[in-house]
Amino acid sequence: MTHKKWIVADADKEKASLLSEKLNIDPFIAFLLVSRGIDDELSASDFLTAGCAFTSPYSLKDMDKAVSRINAALENGEKICIYGDYDCDGVTSTALLYSFFESVGADVTYFIPNRLTDGYGMNISAIDRIKARGTDLIITVDNGISAMDEAEYVYALGMELIVTDHHQIGETLPRACAVINPHRQDNNIKFRDFAGVGVAFKLACALYDGDISDMLEQYADLVAIGTIGDIVPLRNENRGFVRAGLELINQNARIGIEALRQAAGNNDSDLNSVDVAFQLCPRINAAGRMDTAVKAVELLISDDYEDARFKAEQLNIENNHRHEVESNIADDIREIVSSDPSLTDQRVIVISGKNYHHGVIGIVASHLVSTYGKPAIVIGIDDDGKCTGSARSIDGFNIYDAISSCSDMLTHFGGHPLAAGLGIEAQDIDRFRKRINEYALSQYPVMPPQCLRLDCKLSPFYLNTDLVDNLAALEPYGADNPQPVFGLFNVKLMNVSSIGDGKHIRIEVQKKGKNFRIVKFQTAIDDFPYKSGDLLDIAIKVSKNYYNGKYYLSIRAEDIRLNGIDDDKYFKQKNAYELFRCGYDTDEVMYPDRNTFALIYRFLKQNADRSYGVDDLYFAMKQSVTYGQLSFAIDAFCETGIVSIKKDRILLNKTQGKADLEDTNVMKTLKGRLNIE
């Protein structure tokens, strides 16, 4: 994984102390609240209170029009179709409204577009199919706000439309009986960051015209899953939705959710928001990614336990299939990068391959972002020549704007600053890669670093189950309210062992006489670059496990690094190196002289039992050579066969005789660039 810049949150300790005193809460919790910007008595009290003041659904513009039109449809026996989406938010929104309409005796069906054949949102072909069912009224959930032409087509066919959506609004609204969207400026609301399922729930509440607590008892589980799955901020009403939903899931779950929970392997312990995000949401999403999201809707509305168990297992199989396909694409990309490392030197990584499954390329792009710390676009080229790309980015780099700068060579595109999609012709991919990187170089001469935000530094003496119990006041965790990350600094590595069939490691560390164990997932012991005696800084999350009638502290490492490294020096030198590779002159030293080569070689030989990537080696050598010197030296070593690179790890080879490093193509080219004789 790429090196991240650690940022330790700052907080006004006096303000935190005052908050602790006024609300009679744990001082440490008060400190964490203040560090997250929840620093006054009212906002902190609202945040910590179990209940929530839900606004009236009629605070949303056009809600009265929607209720009037739907009630007319109910009275006249009109056929209603819920037009949903294939992701977790769209699936739960569809299941919620469909279930509600069924409960009031409506003639209702639903339609979920197929990701591969229909694409996102409304489309003409789907509208034709819905019309053929005898539909009178279409109600969208989690889509529709940008469906201008499709809305007109709905009316041309003699149907009517109600749009409920939560995506950003353009200059005009689609033709509809009602357009309900929290981002409309004429809404009478303060909080606008609902998921699509939150908007659908508001509509159901307005139609029910009763106590919202009754509706939460029926549908809070669906609202919670969709809200968590869509990664909207867990603040304000969203926090109330998720709290109520988790309570329902753990105490009186609907059949489909209970079956899915068991299929995920969680039979006993209560689910929290993190469990929902990593156990339930991916399985619901997998249906829409790999096949059809209709399977997920059928599961959520099922009222037969055996049927639900079968459908949940189907989703589990789809999720396993998704992992397999994702892994195959990742392996292919590793081969591509291995044959052309320059692809990852560029500002924006653009990689294409034959028959990459459209449903998983976004996930693969996210992995590339995590691995290289820069925006990534993965493009799948189908047999018919159709190309579909999915982009992911880092905070501070607007990938939507970058893609927009290349709009003239795209068949379509859309998205937001951190994620986007596009269509392109195969013959234009290389030109697109060049153009988007020219844009990135001109607009981002210094790339924003990928950051890891720590809530605070923590003494190991505070690591116990009481800490976990106190932190429960901050739950549920999610977007805009992440699970706390703490920094353990200057701890001594005592031991490393492999767990989980070699996929993960457990490390034992010590500080001030206190020993404790930490698990690092998705790290094989052969890829761990540290050894006993090293002084480390570790970013951790804490939880507790129940075993043999007792709770035990569980510590998970989010990131591990050598103690005392200089982040600013690293990012400056790496940025200069990448600019230099792109043809720009820099002030940083790039040329590895004879002494530099000797220093790097000796270090590799003395630590031949270690596994280093270039970044690991840079820090292990205490940043004693510049990033550019090290990178070009490794390139020269590779050219002469002194070292080889396998899965991004540097391997020292057994060689005989001395290699003439100055005669390598790498060094000749470098001398030419730097005008060195």
Sheet containing strand 386-392, strands side by side: 349-354, 376-381, 386-392, 419-425, 410-416
Q: Quick: pLDDT tens for 591-621.
A: 999 999 999 999 999 998 888 999 999 999 9
Query: Is residue 30's pLDDT more than 90?
Result: yes
Give the rounded percent of residues in the chain with a pLDDT score beyond 70.
100
State the average pLDDT for the chain: 93
pLDDT band at residue 117 under the 50/70/90 scheme: confident
- pLDDT tens profile 516-562: 999 999 899 988 999 999 999 999 999 988 777 788 899 999 999 99
Q: How far apart are CA 649 and CA 121, in angstroms?
A: 43
Give the number of other Cβ atoms within 10 Å of residue 521's Cβ. 12
Q: Shortest CA distance to 377 belongs to which of 397, 354, 361?
A: 361
β-strands 376-381, 386-392 pairing: antiparallel
Those residues with Cβ within 8 angstroms of residue 577's Cβ, 6 or more apart along the chain or in another chain: 586, 588, 590, 626, 627, 628, 631
Question: Quick one: tokens of 149?
Answer: 């032409």
Separation CA 487–CA 382 (nearest Å): 46
529 sits in which H/E element: none
Buried b (16+ CB within 10 A) or exposed e, 135-164: bbbbbbbbbbbbbeebbebbeeeebbbbbb
Cis-peptide into 476, omega within 30 deg: yes
* pLDDT on residue 168: 84
Contact partners, residue 567, CB within 8 Å, separation at least 6:
5, 6, 449
Residues 432-451: tens digit of each pLDDT: 999 999 999 999 999 999 99
Q: Is 417 exposed, middle or buried (0-12, 13-18, 19+ CB in 10 A)?
A: middle
- Whether residue 51 has pLDDT greater than 80: no
DSSP string, 204-243: HHHHHTS-HHHHHHHHHHHHHHHHHHTT----HHHHHHHH
> Rounded to whole angstroms, how far apart are CA atoms 205 and 199?
10
